[in-house]
Chain A
Amino acid sequence: MRKTGVVIAASGGAYSGRRGSARGWRLRWGSSRRAVAPEHEELANTVRKGGGYDLVEVGYEGGRRPSIASAVEAVIRRGAERVVVVPTGKLNSGVAEVVGRLEQRHRGVEIVHVQEPADTTGRADWMIRKVREHDPDHVQTEAYFGIGRLAGLGTGETAVVHDFDAGHTLLSRLSALGFTPGAEVTMLQNYGHGPVIVGVRNTRIALGRGEAARIRVRQTACGE
């Protein structure tokens, strides 16, 4: 069993990065104090107690200290063999890069970067899930839920066709072969490159990767 550390990645404020501007300087100056904001300290404590993790640190993106990188370094120093980086909300896109660099440095440690629900679909999914928790009478709607591309399904996974990102000719051919919204599709073979084989309406169809990426599907396992 690997010891798991948690890094809560928080936004470092609206630092614009414009070197020399008054606002930029002040923020840069003000936020370089090595201190964790009280609300994040409380968050970290709750995760420590609620989740039973003793290695929990907070790190900020965008210049404010302590940085995400230093927080990760800290939990590794204290013995973490796996680090899960979880975002508090929408962050700038640099986090993945930071995590990538840390992975290079600490080869033995598994560093997982939990993608934040940054895009509208992801945030809406989260909101719908929350609303439904309080709404036992909710109707099963075709809400945005776990929507991905057919090409992204792994071998053996099943999903339902949602819609298409395709021109008229391709659309018409796909629908004649059984790819219509609501049709269940099973990925029979996907090696991550090259064409895929998909089972739809009891037939096996070989699709180019490009074509498979034009079919949007939603996963059936959760939610519905």
Chain B
Amino acid sequence: MALAGQPNVGKSTVFNLLTGLSQHVGNWPGKTVERKEGTYSHNGISVDIVDLPGTYSLTANSAEEVIARDHIIKERPDVVVAVIDASSMERNLYLVAELLSLQTPVIVAVNMMDVADQQGLKIEPEVLEAALGVPVVPMTATNNRGIRELVEAVDELTRDEATYEPKRPEIREDHRAVLEELEHLVAAHVPQPYPSDWVSLKLLEGDDEIMRMMEDRLPQETWEQVHEILKEHEDAVLAVASGRYDWVGRMTRAALVRPGVGQITLTERLDRWATHPLWGLLVLAGILGLVFLLTYSLGAPLQGLLETYVIEASARLAASALAGGPSWLTSLIVDGIIGGAGMVVTFIPILIIFFAMMGLLEDVGYMSRAGYVMDRFMHLMGLHGKSFLPLFLGFGCSVPAVMGTRVIDSRAGRLLTTMLVPLVPCTARMVVLAFITPIFFGAAAPLVAWSLVGLNLLVLAVAGVVINRIAFGGERAAFIMELPLYHKPNWQTIGILIWQRSLAFFKRAGTVILVVSVVLWGLSALPTGDIETSFLAGAGRLLAPLGALMGLSWQMMVALLTSFVAKENAIASLGVLYGAGSEAGLAETLPTIMSPAAALSFLVVQMLFIPCVATVVSIFNETKSWRWTLFNVLFLLLVSFGIGILVYQVANVVS
């Protein structure tokens, strides 16, 4: 069975309830769209469930829509369950209208009955069922109501398909003849398993993918005829859409009783503040401030605990266990593996807390308001409100942020956002910042730290404007976004969101970072076993002339190089290279060998430096383009060194 539905209808909640933790998350072949599968088994019924991406329609406007319809047409699930939101049935039934024009039997699950109830909407499922001619199951997934009935309906329908007689929508009358003419022309050439009436309808809607497909299949002459008809009826998409909405109107007329107007809902009251051009910004600033405050005040102590009791303890354990073996092996395991990938583990608390709060804000419906309020600022960079969420996730970790760019509809917008994500200071960069600023700047440390974060955001804005101008010709994609109703958070949905985002980070940490930290360890240990004379130090010395321009010693340059594995490595590397041992020791050593100007330039470069290896891999995975990935690395290299040199020279002159 396949689960279809528009965004924000609680489809994931239904999926999570059905499959629990049996779900398997991957990508649709060749696409960067998540594919979720799972199994429901209870009382001898076992159902394999595929969660289709949330889409408003089935026309080829986005990768999600193509995936959803290709799955239904080509992989032929036994049943498609269409999850719809009871509180906005009209718009939701539009997708059902599209689903019904395919061959696969459909069951309609009317979710969020409680929300409709609160709004005073009266829905009669039996009437709707009679009108649609397909089974209708009322549900409130957040309260676990209706799940069993849904499974029973699926089971019943698959057993006895003969009773399935849906009343399908028709195109508006003035275009009916054209549709027939089209179908007559193409019917003989439509490839299996596409239904020919559906293909004609999609042609009339101007669906790019189906157009291309039929252009390949049809004889030249016929295609020209078809093309002529389509050109003549360019507005047919409206006739098709109107036809569907007429149908929706007929379906809901009897089954839906609306309350009187003038009722002010909770959402309207909250939105007066949350989407106001001025108050909305203040609300956003307040909420984000709270997110940071909670993340760091709760996360930092936990991070310290993990470091002491897990990383250092296991390093000691490994060291004593390997005491009899060769010293390089001890070094490899303790410094290379535990030191590198282990450091990553200490980010668990901070990331989980951050993702939990982001997940909560998303689930209650606030994040789309944040995007709305930020739209006018995103505008300046040729982006729009939808880019705000991925960019903001970047304050946690760039990896899920890069993956989060999938919500943006246009490729140009997605690419541009991806290019900008590394400029958002992630938690790891903030850790380095928080460690170094107090050493050099005393009471002014918070000011310096915030200015550096501000510098990053400024560079981000400028880079956005410039890249958009040069690469995309200043183009801007359409901003169309649904603002869902606010609702009570669903803890399971948030939990799964945290789990998936953290997992994305740890998968990278577990593979890429591990490999690269071992390689880096090799470079720092070979050929002599002493880091001072290692290949890595050699590379650092080679870069020393460049470093001198920024006031950076070769040790600092090496620290930057190692931060490519993971940003927080910079501190550890400095500790090793300056022979300081612990962090406290490093805090004492640093001021004696570094001027504040050099420290400032080091921080500037570190904040703007190339992203860590995990992020680079993610950027490649999402963009599927070496050119863009390489461009991002080179661009940031140039920007960070350029601004670093500038800051150092100016700071020197000033002091």
A residues bordering B, Cβ < 8 Å?
Answer: 163-164, 168-178, 180-183, 188-189, 191, 193-195, 197, 200-208, 210-211
Contact = CB atoms under 8 A, between A and B. Distances in A.
Given A176-B57, A189-B275, A206 B372 contact: yes
Contact of A175 (B88, B238, B379, B485): B238
B294 interface: no
A170 B480 CA distance: 9
Nearest to A182: B242
B267 A204 contact: yes
Nearest to B98: A176
B56 A176 contact: yes
Contacts of B482: 177, 203-206
Contact of B483 (A172, A181, A205): A205
Given A197-B275, A208-B480, A180 B91 contact: no
Interface of B: 56-57, 59, 61, 87-91, 94, 205-206, 234, 237-238, 241-242, 245, 267-268, 271, 275, 277, 368, 371-372, 375-376, 379, 384-385, 476, 478-485
A177 B479 CA distance: 13
B296 to A, nearest CB: 31
Contacts of B59: 172, 176
Contacts of B206: 168, 172
Given A168-B237, A177-B56, A177-B91, A206 B478 contact: no
A203 B91 contact: yes
Contact of A173 (B56, B245, B384, B385): B56
A173 B94 contact: no
Ordered nearest first, which 10 A-B pairs have the shortest CB separation? A208-B479, A176-B57, A175-B241, A204-B483, A201-B90, A176-B56, A202-B88, A194-B376, A201-B91, A203-B88
Contacts of A211: 478-480
A174 B409 CA distance: 14
B483 A180 contact: no
Contacts of A205: 480-483
A177 B483 contact: no
B490 to A, nearest CB: 20
Contacts of B57: 172, 176
Given A172-B205, A172-B206, A176-B56, A195 B385 contact: yes
A163 B479 CA distance: 19
Contacts of B385: 195, 206
Contacts of A171: 237-238
Contact of A180 (B87, B245, B384): B245
B94 A178 contact: yes
Contact of A183 (B245, B267, B480): B245
B287 to A, nearest CB: 18
Nearest to A202: B88
Contacts of B94: 176, 178
Contacts of A194: 277, 375-376
Contacts of A180: 238, 241-242, 245
B427 to A, nearest CB: 30
7 contacts: A174-B480, A189-B271, A193-B277, A195-B375, A204-B483, A206-B368, A208-B384
Given A181-B242, A194-B277, A201-B90, A173 B237 contact: no
Contacts of B238: 163-164, 171, 175, 180-181
Nearest to A173: B61
Given A195-B479, A197-B271, A206-B480, A176 B241 contact: yes
Contacts of A193: 277, 376
